[in-house]
Structure 1
């Protein structure tokens, strides 16, 4: 009999995950996070953090912060372990009514800050306005990959200084210009959230590209002469999601955001692309609903860290922050009560920022650093990861609808008269009750999944001659 699966000891798997969940619960009594001595406004959030290596400090940007340690503030302030928080010189909000700072970059002796209703430069303790009364929502600024200057990703509303501009702009340090005018034909009313140079091509991500027959691809790449689709792209069932962040890790390009699957891979909110094909990422983010998201990703010391708003990644308990080593996911074992908007490392220490107020029951608001001994509190190569490399091609086993709500149909390439045994597992190796399986027509079975928990499921199909594997997602 041909073997198309990895032999898997279910009993050991269940015991392993039971132990992991026990350790996760007991870990809550161990302090793993601490605040950094800030007293931030309780109803505001931090959106971005930038490591300023020139001044050896962190720079935070966010929703307009009325106070930091009791001092009146603007949306940007600095912090260092030795000097504490430093409030940048306030600016006139009647001239530049910024409320959200989304990205920060140092250029020489100046800080450049972009965000909602703004682009400004901070030099010699003085703010200089680049855009006034702007109705744009700038998202990301990176060095221009093809020469001097910088690229700026623009959000949904694209009006600068009263003029309509494109979704991608070039800044020469003095003036803003529309770059790649043709991209607006693909983005439409959507926006760009991130920009990255990968394998010599420019990738942009966000919400709105409409190549490939009108599918919301969420990502485009510039080949040097034209914008093109990325082999099916990021598909989003609700058409309400998008790709928030991109990062290169171990030679592959990772996408994180609010989406259901990449090129029908069945993994939600995170995707992996090697330049020619989509690869598995250990099962994706759980739960699946589009309120879950990945907002930020960073690579450090051989690991990929992701942060956002989620409960599990690949079946591993991980509340809003997780680590990936290319084969398995790990969670730190903490409970964070709000979303994480950005993540970075400073002096080899992990920092998170967002809208949270408590971590593991301790009052830690908006900014936290990790002080635990080892981030890898709960790890595991899930059943999904173990079987992902041997899943049957779609032409052999059809599983639909996928995602499913009440019923799942299986079409098998099996001659009539053969015995068929079907087993369905959760991503953590729990065998589901499948007595509801019933034949419907030639080589087709229908399975009731009413009442099953939302998430990914693995299917093992054994016939008289062969073994197949497949997967589906249950809403």
Structure 2
């Protein structure tokens, strides 16, 4: 980046940085995030550009990949408009423009607009929310037939404000067990389970600490969640993602369950693990991305393991893991299936039968959470040899690159 001028956006081709299309803004301007929808690239952020007609468009933009210029959507978004985000960041049937009350395409004022790739329409369920200039909507997404809405807006069912509710298709509902305690920053649907992260704690009535999972009816605190020890008021979860079939969480925290970590941790459904590395700089990792099977992180670090790395780094550690928490009871997950396990001749040897050929990773953990074995296969079977390990119960987990997960256990 020391030989390239870029304002708020850049792209990486695996070996060097380059500008992303023509600059979206002539000066400094933050990009909140990119997302793909119907095969096209969209952007939103604290930036604006002048259209060919001489008008200013703010935040909401789509890349014309033929001309390599950012373009306004079907109508201009003025700098004074409160609608500043496109959500959700994960695949969803439609996009939503959200933020504070605003108008698009000269339609009625609303904090939520539906976007289908060609048309903006006010989201009518939000008409039942009493107008307030401070009504703020963060994310809107669909999960198990209902539409979930985060933010800080007037409670449509009673007095006060709400931070997380859902629309059933006919009426507003409180999200069971949320208790309106905390701020949500990111969401992800993975293996048919909804994960949330942000600023919330069980001490204030939330269902988890900085992170929690939800199956549509019940919450899991995910092995105790995340924290900063000793207590730190700015501890928070910032982003959610996946890598090699596991959930990733980043933010400001140094504990995941009872494991020591540094602002990033992975969750396999029953255990937290960190990534090795000595980080220098500000204690925050903002987000992750996976590209060409490689994990990237960005944050406030200036060096890792004594090597200068400013804000962006690539994981080259392969299957290495840092500290892991003790293994807990696996969270209920309708996307997780049981492993087919057959004992072979000799004590401590089994054959794992997988449902199909694929890029499978099989791991075994003892009852304390210690990694006992790790195998990779492109076939539909994998022998597991734990004969050199102590007698006891071992938990097995098979993950496929597409995200499929199977679990089982054996007694050595």
Q: Scaled by the length of structure 2, what TM-score is found?
A: 0.65
Instruction: Indicate yes or no: 2:13 matched with 1:80.
Output: yes
Give the Cα–Cα distance (whole angstroms) in 2 for the partners of residues 272 and 107 of structure 1: 25
Question: Residue 306 of structure 1 aligns to a residue in which SS?
Answer: strand
Q: Deviations over 1:156-202 (max 9, x none)?
A: 46466898732221224445332135267179524233233211222
Give the Cα–Cα distance (whole angstroms) in 1 for the partners of residues 288 and 239 of structure 2: 6
- In 2 relative to 1, CA 345–266 (structure 1 residues): closer, same or farther, beyond 3 Å? same
Paired position in structure 1 for 2:96: 152
Q: Deviations over 1:234-269 (max 9, x none)?
A: 543xxxx51111112333211101112399356321
Paired position in structure 2 for 1:42: none
Instruction: Indicate yes or no: 2:22 matched with 1:89.
Output: yes
Higher strand share: 2
Moved more, 84-93 or 283-292: 84-93
Paired position in structure 1 for 2:149: 204
Higher helix share: 1
Give the Cα–Cα distance (whole angstroms) in 1 for the partners of residues 226 and 190 of structure 2: 18
Contact 2:296–2:312 (Cα < 8 Å) also in 1: yes
Q: Deviations over 1:197-217 (max 9, x none)?
A: 211222222334636765765
Contact 1:152–1:168 (Cα < 8 Å) also in 2: yes
Unaligned 5+ residue runs, structure 1? 1-38, 40-68, 390-427, 429-475
Counterpart selection for 1:99 from 13, 17, 29: 29
Question: Residue 72 of structure 1 aligns to a residue in which SS?
Answer: coil
- In 2 relative to 1, CA 315–220 (structure 1 residues): closer, same or farther, beyond 3 Å? same
Bigger CA radius of gyration: 1
Q: Deviations over 1:297-355 (max 9, x none)?
A: 11233211111111112121111100111111111133443322221211111111234
Counterpart selection for 1:350 from 281, 295, 313: 295
Contact 1:75–1:99 (Cα < 8 Å) also in 2: yes
Moved more, 112-121 or 310-319: 112-121
Question: Residue 114 of structure 1 aligns to a residue in which SS?
Answer: strand
- In 2 relative to 1, CA 186–80 (structure 1 residues): closer, same or farther, beyond 3 Å? farther
Contact 1:133–1:161 (Cα < 8 Å) also in 2: no
- In 2 relative to 1, CA 91–85 (structure 1 residues): closer, same or farther, beyond 3 Å? closer
Relative CO higher for 1 or 2, CA cutoff 8 Å, sep ≥ 6?
A: 1
Alignment of 1:209-228 (within 5 A): 210=155, 217-228=162-173
Paired position in structure 2 for 1:320: 263
Paired position in structure 1 for 2:84: 138
Contact 1:234–1:263 (Cα < 8 Å) also in 2: no
- In 2 relative to 1, CA 300–88 (structure 1 residues): closer, same or farther, beyond 3 Å? same
Contact 2:111–2:126 (Cα < 8 Å) also in 1: no
- Count of aligned residue pairs for this structure pair: 312
Paired position in structure 2 for 1:246: 187
- C-alpha displacement of 1:378: 0.7
Instruction: Indicate yes or no: 2:198 matched with 1:257.
Output: yes
Moved more, 250-259 or 201-210: 201-210
Instruction: Indicate yes or no: 2:4 matched with 1:71.
Output: yes
- In 2 relative to 1, CA 364–185 (structure 1 residues): closer, same or farther, beyond 3 Å? same
Alignment of 1:182-201 (within 5 A): 182=126, 185=129, 188=132, 189-201=134-146
- C-alpha displacement of 1:280: 2.7
Contact 1:331–1:377 (Cα < 8 Å) also in 2: yes
Question: Residue 124 of structure 2 aligns to a residue in which SS?
Answer: coil
- C-alpha displacement of 1:89: 0.9
Contact 1:196–1:246 (Cα < 8 Å) also in 2: no
- C-alpha displacement of 1:82: 5.1
Give the Cα–Cα distance (whole angstroms) in 1 for the partners of residues 157 and 178 of structure 2: 9
- In 2 relative to 1, CA 276–85 (structure 1 residues): closer, same or farther, beyond 3 Å? same
Contact 2:83–2:103 (Cα < 8 Å) also in 1: no
Give the Cα–Cα distance (whole angstroms) in 1 for the partners of residues 270 and 173 of structure 2: 30
Give the Cα–Cα distance (whole angstroms) in 2 for the partners of residues 144 and 370 of structure 1: 22
Give the Cα–Cα distance (whole angstroms) in 2 for the partners of residues 136 and 286 of structure 1: 33
Question: Residue 319 of structure 1 aligns to a residue in which SS?
Answer: coil
- C-alpha displacement of 1:270: 1.0
Give the Cα–Cα distance (whole angstroms) in 2 for the partners of residues 140 and 122 of structure 1: 14
Contact 1:167–1:187 (Cα < 8 Å) also in 2: no
- In 2 relative to 1, CA 268–210 (structure 1 residues): closer, same or farther, beyond 3 Å? farther
Question: Residue 129 of structure 2 aligns to a residue in which SS?
Answer: helix
- C-alpha displacement of 1:374: 2.7
What is the RMSD computed on CA atoms of the aligned residues?
A: 3.6
- C-alpha displacement of 1:362: 2.7
Contact 1:216–1:234 (Cα < 8 Å) also in 2: no
